Amino acid sequence: MAQGASNAEIAAGLTVSLGTAKWHVGHVLAKLGATSRTQALLRAQQVGLV
């Protein structure tokens, strides 16, 4: 996500289904309290994850 990968690219890179990638992206957004990938990246940087 931090590198701008799409859900399909994440799924291919992790060898999981697109649905699984979407599910994980949704949970990452929720845990970071973000409504977008951009917000998630900013929040991850703030807390030292990226």
Residue 34 lies in a domain: yes
Cα torsion through 16, 40, 27, 8, rounded to 10 = -20
Whole-model pTM? 0.82
Is residue 14 domain-resident?
A: yes
If one counts every other C-beta atom within 10 angstroms of the C-beta of residue 19, the result is 10
Measured in residues, the chain has a length of 50
Is residue 1 situated within a structural domain? Answer: no
- How much is the pLDDT for 50? 86
In a domain, 26, yes or no: yes
Number of domains in the chain: 1
Query: Is position 39 within any domain?
Result: yes
The per-residue pLDDT for range 25-47, each reduced to its tens digit, is: 999 999 999 999 999 999 999 99
The answer to whether residue 33 sits within a structural domain is yes
CA–CA separation, 18 and 49 (whole Å): 24
Structural domain range at position 21: 7-46
Going by C-beta distance under 8 Å and a sequence separation of 6 or more, which residues neighbour residue 17? 11
Tell me if 2 is assigned to some domain.
Answer: no
Let me know if residue 32 belongs to a domain. Answer: yes
Question: Residue 2: its pLDDT value, please?
Answer: 86
